[in-house]
Amino acid sequence: MARTVWDSSVGKKAVMAVSGIVMLLYLVVHMIGNLKIFFGPGEFDHYAHWLRTLGEPFMHYEWTLWLIRVVLVAAVVAHAVSAYQLSRRDLRARPSKYVHKKARASYATRTMRWGGVILGLFIVWHLLDLTTGTVHSGGFQEGHPYQNVVDTFSTWYGNVVYLVAMLALGLHVRHGFFSAAQTLGAGSRTRNRALRAVADVLALLLTAGFVAVPVGVMTGVVS
């Protein structure tokens, strides 16, 4: 049954919708945690340490954090694979261009694929920058996330990469949330307007919340 569902376009869209919601919930929590940086290094570093002790003593040190990471990796892979296979299936279904052009889609809809690629590359860069410190500028300091964040956004390229990715994220969430709601059967003629409004608000809040951190460093509010 699982294979039959996965092989169908409806099944792949459902996987995309569920995995997208999982990632969206994480993004909301992650954004709120990021905003703690405005309360100073003590508050932000304590929050980062708390993430590693979450669930103790039942869970060992960092076990909960690693469990969250595994779930997120699974969601990202499922989302990306489903999107790629659906895209290939769509191209095979219509190998030649339409004789009559379809109605002009929204900017978010037309950039979903490129936005997904940008976000995928950003995730890799973000992990290498602030998790492993492999590409970090200014000398990565284990256990000092506040200073590491300030270092990253003290460089022009760190700001450019992050801001471009967050704009792509906003467009992705705006279109993706509404599409996920339709796929999971939440949409209707009476609810679609409200769902679009929720998608717009979520995209705006997430983009503004994440962008606030590099802007804070650039303006000297966070230093």
Tokens of 173: 């969430």
C-alpha–C-alpha distance, residues 203 and 188, integer Å? 21
Predicted model pTM:
0.88
> What is the reported pLDDT for 95?
58
List the chain pLDDT tens, one digit each, 223 residues.
Answer: 878 878 788 899 999 999 999 999 999 999 999 999 999 999 999 999 999 999 999 999 999 999 999 999 999 999 999 988 888 887 777 655 555 455 455 555 667 888 889 999 999 999 999 999 999 987 899 889 999 999 999 999 999 999 999 999 999 999 999 989 988 888 788 888 999 999 999 999 999 999 999 999 999 999 8
Q: Are 64 and 55 in contact (CB under 8 A)?
A: yes
Contact 189, 183 (CB under 8 A): no
Residues 2, 14: Cα–Cα separation, whole Å: 12
Q: What is the reported pLDDT for 77?
A: 95
Cα(139)–Cα(94) distance, integer angstroms: 51
Q: Running DSSP on this structure, what letter comes out for residue 123?
A: H
Tokens for 42?
Answer: 């003590």
Cα 200 from Cα 205, distance rounded (Å): 9
